[in-house]
Amino acid sequence: MEVVAVDIGGTHARFAIAEVADGRVVAMDEPVTQKVAEHPSLQLAWQAFGESVDRPLPRAAAIAVASPINGDLIKLTNNPWIIRPALIPERLNAPTWTLVNDFAAIGHAVAQLGPDSFLHLCGPDEALPERGSITVCGPGTGLGVAQVFRHRAGYDIIATEGGHTDFAPLDAIEDALVKRLRRTYTRVSTERVVAGPGIVAIHETLAEIEGKPVHRLDDKALWALALEGKDELAVAALDRFCMSLGAVAGDLALAHGPSGVVIAGGLGLRLKDHLLQSGFGQRFVAKGRFQGLMSGIPVKLITHPQPGLYGAAAAFAQEHAL
């Protein structure tokens, strides 16, 4: 059966036609990426996708959204679109549909993809466990968090809002970072630091500590400078970002009690080389009396180019037992 898979984030909406069978994804076409800001609603973005593929769309939808999935009205966390689940069959001409949290979708991708879709980051260099809990987290416009629980009968996905837990500073630099963020936010959550926009506050904090002028740059400009290695302070901010992400991923692992961790998110794959070279791994295991426990957890980076789309289709296949 064919289904339109959709992955809606804070900045982009991605569409692809996927084929599903026997509860799994069989194939997926090349994705089409649209900027959320260019369309007032999901319905209009859906129509634009239909025009771009120049063929009748399947009458089935698998939609992953960056928001909790509950109630009759879904307001996305970092996106102005509003989704009314009851209207999906009419508005999208899709009488068969599935709606999941974006990181729950990535959890489905983690559960179904093979070992060749993961890169080892730290811990034991072994495959993700076939039984037990796997924490999935990753930075994009926000910080997404989910759990995969593998058991004898298959797997279950637990969507969470773990990205909104309190950020815990671990040294003087992070103390200064939290102090700066509190000027704007009364409460500093983890995604204020280890999501895409967080690099701005990190960069400004480092500039202030170094006694350098604090130049106002947006996160996109800073990420470009950091990833290209063109600005020493931006590169230092990137290194600090990776360290903080390691600490947060370790905290989530302690909370979830997993036997594996996967880093994903819109920035995850772009950070591949930096995560391997930074203090990510050291911060992940640095949990005091539990350092030995943390050292035994395999930590992977998902390398599939579209895990949200793949996972949305996988969630559809699981729900409808196709």
For 165-197, write each residue's pLDDT tens digit: 999 999 999 999 999 999 999 899 999 999 999
pLDDT 10s digits, 32-42: 999 998 999 99
Exposure string of 133-171, with b = 16+ CB inside 10 Å and e = fewer, is bbbbbbbbbbbbbbbbbbeeeebebebbbbbebebebee
pLDDT 10s digits, 267-309: 888 898 899 989 999 999 999 999 999 999 999 999 999 999 9
Q: Which amino acid is at 228?
A: E
| pLDDT greater than 60 at residue 322 | no
| pLDDT greater than 80 at residue 77 | no
Tokens 């559809």 -> residue: 316
Mean pLDDT of 94-119: 94
Among 44-53, 64-73, 202-211, whose mean pLDDT is lowest? 64-73
The conformation of residue 163, written as its DSSP 8-state character, comes to G
H helix runs in 113-231, sequence order? 172-182, 198-210, 219-228
**Cα–Cα distance for residue pair 322/58, rounded to 1 Å:** 15
Q: What is the 3-state secondary structure (H, E, C) of 246-271?
A: HHHHHHHHHHHCCCEEEECCCCCHHH
CB 259 within 8 A of CB 129: yes
Tokens 């911060």 -> residue: 283
CB 25 within 8 A of CB 317: yes
Q: Helices (H) and strands (E) in the chain — how many of each?
A: 11, 14
pLDDT at 224: 94
The conformation of residue 166, written as its DSSP 8-state character, comes to B
212, two tokens: 């350098």
Tokens 């034991």 -> residue: 124
* pLDDT cut 90: percent of the chain above it: 81
List the one residue out of 201, 200, 138, 144 whose CA is nearest residue 175: 201
Q: 210: which residues sit within 8 A by CB, 6+ positions away?
A: 233
**Cα–Cα distance for residue pair 173/159, rounded to 1 Å:** 32
pTM (two decimals): 0.89
CB 35 within 8 A of CB 76: no
pLDDT band at 69 (very low <50, low <70, confident <90, very high): confident
